[in-house]
Structure 1
Amino acid sequence: MPPAPPRILVVDDEEAILYVFERYLSIAGYRVSVAGNGRDAVRIGEAGPIDLLITDFRMPGMNGIEVIHALRGLQPELPALVISGNPIEAGTMPPGVRFLSKPVSMSDLLDIIPSLIRQPV
């Protein structure tokens, strides 16, 4: 039986962005979960392992870095990608976190994802 496709969690407070990411990533063969805020993202992480976190930086409640720290409390090696329209505001990324500036090209995103997801040995 082939392994299940990688599970990606996308966190953004804009519904339109969640919709576009979910559509593109699903069509590309990934299992996708979406969350509109950090609290919901943590609940999803508590429900089961995630292979990659893609998060916006600026969101009400928890920002993207806080979401990463909360989910890494559950999965210390969780790879993450932060997307923001303001790289200066986002600042220095934690170890193992990549950064992309908005707007994001879906083809660029799909090219980057395989290098972020840790494949089982």
Structure 2
Amino acid sequence: MDKYYFALLGEAGASGLAKAFYLRFKKESLKEAYEQEVSHWNYFRKFRRSHLELPVYYSLFLFGIFVSLFGFSFTKRVIKRVERGAINFYEKNFDLTDKRISEILAQEREHMKI
């Protein structure tokens, strides 16, 4: 499988998590993170599509609702772990001089500050 496929499914899942966290906590920073994750997902849709996008999105949406039941501090730890994995994936597999990839990386780093 190629890097665009993994990025596509990763961003679909990240969008589901972000939506769940925003619905649960209603923080503006979480809304912004959700909108950015959806834009990342749409970017990778230009390169690949998959029938697994929506199942991944909804699975991680439900997982996000479950995680949020443990409170905001636990949710923040989950966000940091997920974003750290995404950053490592992008740094390892993509050209960091690409303008859009650099923007995505910067936004992912901002999400870790939530």
TM-score scaled by structure 1?
A: 0.29
Higher helix share: 2
Higher strand share: 1
TM-score scaled by structure 2?
A: 0.30
Greater relative contact order (Cα < 8 A, sep 6+): 2
